[in-house]
């Protein structure tokens, strides 16, 4: 539970204050109402309706096929369940890259139709104008640097970014540019811990790390990964806080057995 209090809604100001006070920010992804309710109850600060939706819920091989309509549908479910956490919707591939006007319209849809409190988008200097115009329209923007899954083909796979001095310099510059453009925080994904530390110290806005070591101002994990519910692939940086995949399989197995043998429904389940 954040020290910000159980009921006060989390905003961009809250997370900025948390950084100032050295209080770590907790962010998790969610894609449905029930998970959002549970996260709210337990005090998660920010819920990200990530486009990881495409891989861990919809079964795509990457995040590239995810559409605005799919994201809106799931963001609506999450905002119905989350009252205190700040809900950030991920702008899917090609919803902001083609033009600033597209970006504004799509970011606006998340706020108007889905009740999101802000949006996240991937990239550095190349999206600075989008960040500037979107924040200018009153929409809080979270940046995303390092491993940016929407550019998986450009990066040549899901691999650590910022390993060479030149690449690290570019990410540091991008972080400052995105802050300058108006972003209220930045996700740093799979970059060396020392680089994430340097960036976190150089920015006024909070960094939220994933596979970026302990020195970021907050951490994020994909909920299906941390609950042990996505078996296709588990990145090294994931800690499994539960093994729900096994629990669920046991429950299905037990149900099948009881229905087949006729022990479910029992007398207590019907009248």
Residue positions annotated with a catalytic role: 189
**Which residue of the chain is nearest ligand KIV when measured via CB?**
50
- Spatial separation of the C-alpha atoms in residues 271 and 256, rounded to whole Å: 22
CB nearer to ligand KIV: pick between 141 and 220: 220
Say if residues 214 and 202 touch (Cβ distance below 8 Å): no
- DSSP of 14-71, one letter per residue? HHHHHHHHTPPEEEEE--SHHHHHHHHHHT-SEEEE-TTHHHHTS--SSSTT--HHHH
**Does 68 participate in binding ligand KIV (rule CB under 6 A)?**
no
- Spatial separation of the C-alpha atoms in residues 225 and 242, rounded to whole Å: 9
Site string for ligand KIV, 211-250 (x = CB under 6 A): ---------x-x----------------------------
Residue of 116, 177, 210, 229 that binds ligand KIV (CB under 6 A) = 210
What length is written for the chain?
271
CB nearer to ligand KIV: pick between 233 and 264: 233
User: Contacts with ligand KIV in 87-126 (CB under 6 A)?
Assistant: 90
Say if residues 75 and 106 touch (Cβ distance below 8 Å): no
Site string for ligand KIV, 1-40 (x = CB under 6 A): ----------------------------x-----------
Residue of 2, 4, 14, 52 that binds ligand KIV (CB under 6 A) = 52
Residues whose CB falls within 8 Å of the CB of residue 175, separated by 6 or more in sequence, listed in order: 124, 143, 145, 186, 188, 199, 202, 203, 207
Q: How far is the CB of 233 from ligand KIV (least distance, A)?
A: 13
Point out which residues bind ligand KIV (CB under 6 A). Answer: 29, 48, 50-52, 90, 187, 189, 210, 220, 222
């Amino acid at each position: 539970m954040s020290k910000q209090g159980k009921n006060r809604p989390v905003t961009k100001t809250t997370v900025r204050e948390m950084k100032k006070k050295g209080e770590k920010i907790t962010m998790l992804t969610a894609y449905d109402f029930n998970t959002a309710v549970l996260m709210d109850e337990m005090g998660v600060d920010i819920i990200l309706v990530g486009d990881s939706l495409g891989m861990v819920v919809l079964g795509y091989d990457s995040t590239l096929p995810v559409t605005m309509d799919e994201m809106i549908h799931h963001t609506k479910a999450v905002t119905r369940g989350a009252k205190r956490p700040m809900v950030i919707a991920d702008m899917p591939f090609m919803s902001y890259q083609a033009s600033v006007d597209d970006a504004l319209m799509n970011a606006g849809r998340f706020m108007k139709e889905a009740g999101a409190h802000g949006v996240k988008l991937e990239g550095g200097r190349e999206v600075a104008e989008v960040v500037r115009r979107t924040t200018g329209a009153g929409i809080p923007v979270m940046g995303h640097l390092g491993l940016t899954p929407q550019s998986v083909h450009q990066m040549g796979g899901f691999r650590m970014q910022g390993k060479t001095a030149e690449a690290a310099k570019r990410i540091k510059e991008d972080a400052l540019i995105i802050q300058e453009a108006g972003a209220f925080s930045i996700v740093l994904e799979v970059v060396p811990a020392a680089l994430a530390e340097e960036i976190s110290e150089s920015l006024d806005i909070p960094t939220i790390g994933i596979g970026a070591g302990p020195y970021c101002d907050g951490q994020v994990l994909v909920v299906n990964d941390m609950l042990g519910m996505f078996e296709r692939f588990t990145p090294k940086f994931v800690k499994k806080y539960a093994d729900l995949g096994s629990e669920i399989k046991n429950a299905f197995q037990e149900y099948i057995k009881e229905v087949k043998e006729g022990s479910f429904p029992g007398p207590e389940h019907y009248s």
